[in-house]
Structure 1
Amino acid sequence: MSARTRQRFLELGTTVTYGARQHVFRQGEESHHVLVVLDGLVKVFVDTEFGRPVLLGLRGRGDLLGEMAMLEHRRRSADVVTCTPARVKLIGNAQLTTFFDRRPDAWAAMAGSLSQRLSGANVRRAEFVACPAPVRVGRVLAEIARAYGVRTPDGWDLDVGLTQTEIASLAGVALATFEKALHRLHRSGLVHRKSRRIVVDDLAGLSRFGVADRANPYQYGIRDEDVAQS
């Protein structure tokens, strides 16, 4: 969208501040507004019929959430919880729809965002079927580091307010499988643990680890039975 439309968009709604680990949206509740993340990080997850929550993704500054429920006139399909303290903009559905109707470039921007999210979901679904578990873990850790990691003298600190169980869920693996893959990454000099957090020592190397290719120097033994599957 144009700079002018973006400025008008940010003038909509009400700015609200949340602490860490606070619910912003709840799965199944009525949809009355959307939110835009201004600062901080939130996680999106669903409760499944088997009683096991599944983490769908992370959203940060500039991301819009709740628009699908608004467009389809249905209840929330997922929970949104803050990972860190966050500042968000809450915009009523009716106000946002009126704004979009008057500014076609805003509609186009939202459609582009939804398309990117769908493409990302398709890629992740293909990875679940085609990629060994350690590759998926490596890719998820590299994605988090690039998007939200904090550069420190020790490496890229993944201080994003996620548990290892949640990161494992994002990679589509069981916690035990995630821990085995993490141990492998540690032995390869790619990551280490620090105060219950994960620090990426070598982001370039971790990115190479996440490439399922015979030329990958880290792929030797990747199909060990204890780590190959989720």
Structure 2
Amino acid sequence: MRSPPVLAQVPLFTGLAEAELEALASSLRRRSYAKGEVIFHQEDPGSACYIVETGRVKIVAASADGKQVVLALLGPGDLFGEMALLDGEPRSADAVVVEACQLLTLQRDDFLAFLRSNCDASLKLMAALARRLRRTDEFLQDAVFLDVSGRLAKALLDLGEGQGQKMPDGSLVTPRLTQGELAALVGATRESINKWLGYYRDRGLVRYEGGRVTIRKPQELRRYIY
């Protein structure tokens, strides 16, 4: 496989020479997944990591009684599944396709060999894991200090700014998500998400159509976080 353009978007691989990218690409395998397909389950052994080339993936943890929380929403250029390769432990969550996608897979031995031969990439990986830990800390603080309206406002703004589209009028459009997925993302019920989306809509802050939220007044919505 020739070096896919998406590799240049992966922070772990930035700064690599073209020859290094080509060598890495020779170890990659491409696979397509349909919407709703499970890439791996929690407690599965970890044999490979994945790079999102197209589409979107969610990382989901579930309790014994079936309650779910979305830990991350991933798009093109995002790497996932690497933790189990580093510590040899089972998968800590499910990975599920949100939008039909193409993934690039890198087997554990190839991934570890790459890290051993590239100190800079190892440092970047540590930085990425540190950022993930910070996000986890932030998520826990939000669960304690913010109510549902604040957590929803923050999640919508993060989605709009990180994975959405910024329109010429300054509004933000989030990726397509169901209210159930939004509920799992902020740790709330679907009913409460419906209630607060209606509240924001009635005040002219958002519009919800076709699974996408248009944030019409981002600065005003941000006030609900504090």
RMSD, aligned α-carbons: 2.1
Work out the percentage of aligned pairs sharing the same amino acid. 25
Counterpart Cα distance in 2 of 1:164 and 1:109: 35
Tell me which moved more, 128-137 or 149-158.
Answer: 149-158
- In the other structure, the counterpart of 2:44 is 29
- In the other structure, the counterpart of 2:213 is 198
Secondary structure of 2:208's aligned partner: strand
Q: Count residues in correspondence.
A: 210
Aligned-residue offset at 1:29: 1.5
Tell me which moved more, 97-106 or 143-152.
Answer: 143-152
Task: Note if 1:94 corresponds to 2:113.
Answer: no
5 Å matches for 1:14-163? 14-151=29-166, 155-160=171-176, 162-163=177-178
Change (3 A) 1:8 1:206: farther
Change (3 A) 1:195 1:13: closer
Output the amino acid matched with 1:157.
V
**Structure 2 unaligned blocks of 5 or more:** 1-13
Counterpart Cα distance in 1 of 2:128 and 2:25: 17
Residue deviations 1:146-181 (CA, integer Å, cap 9, x gap)? 122245689533343x32112112112222222222
Counterpart Cα distance in 1 of 2:214 and 2:59: 23
Secondary structure of 1:170's aligned partner: helix
Contact 2:59/2:95 (<8 A) preserved: yes
- For normalisation by structure 1, the TM-score amounts to 0.83
Counterpart Cα distance in 2 of 1:72 and 1:138: 35
Runs of 4+ in 1 over 4 A off after TM superposition: 5-8, 151-155
Aligned-residue offset at 1:186: 1.0
5 Å matches for 1:210-225? 210=225, 212=226
Residue deviations 1:28-66 (CA, integer Å, cap 9, x gap)? 222111111122211000221122122111112222111
Counterpart Cα distance in 2 of 1:143 and 1:10: 31
Contact 2:204/2:216 (<8 A) preserved: yes
**Structure 1 unaligned blocks of 5 or more:** 213-230
